Amino acid sequence: MSSTKQRIRLIAAFGALATLALAVSCKGFFVKPTLTALAVGPVSPTIFTGSVGNTVQMFAVGTFNDGSNSSTPVTWSISGTGTGGQTIATITPGGLVTAQDVGTGTVTASSDVLPSITGTQPITVSIACTTAPIISPTSGTLTANVPSISFTASCGGQQITSVATWFSSNTAIATVSAGVVTAVGGAGNNGTFFITASSNGLTSSQVSITATGF
């Protein structure tokens, strides 16, 4: 074999070895990003009992230590006991939530790669109202001696007090949450205002309340 051919083969062999060495050394430059946080969406969804609007598809987005964001495999779970004593909803391995019972709860996504990293999102299951909610009683008075009054809201004969969206027309006089109207109090915080309760896009008639003696 001529010396020229030998040199060519040696050069080719050294080239292959150099390429292999470069490939091995470059592995250290392509480190897989590490998951640091999970975000769950959509934000605070509300679904309804019955056959309409009774599901929501949840999703999880991971944040990694290189600043990137992308989907990542997770395990889903849901908590929260409804007014009927059962779990408010079920959730599939793919994150589809289906309503079971009226109430509030939490959807949790746990990373399959790093189970200690989780993300959560509150969820509400409400009555699928087909008529406007009804508030009871139909009026009320707040005084220094009676600074709060409780109201109930129902829809189709079912209680929705805890899951309805409540509204006070004058929060400088009183606020309302889960049916409980509470006077802000303080000198001069008197007057008449109204509250409403809403569910499934339907709103009750206004209930008039008077605050006096503050």
pTM of the predicted protein model: 0.59
Multiple choice CATH, 134-211, 3.40.50.2300, 3.90.700.10, 2.60.40.1080, 3.40.190.80? 2.60.40.1080
> Which is nearest to 136 in space by CA: 152, 150, 123, 149?
152
Torsion of CA 67, 68, 72, 76, to 10 degrees: 50
- Give tens-digit pLDDT for 138-173: 999 999 999 999 999 998 788 889 888 999 999 999
At 17 the pLDDT is 47
Q: Where are the alpha helices (DSSP H) in the chain?
A: 3-26
Dihedral sign, CA of 188, 192, 198, 202? Answer: negative
- Strands 46-48 and 118-126, how do they pair? parallel
pLDDT in tens, 14-70: 455 445 445 444 444 567 889 999 999 999 998 988 777 899 999 999 999 998 999
The CATH superfamily assigned to 35-126 is Immunoglobulins (2.60.40.10)
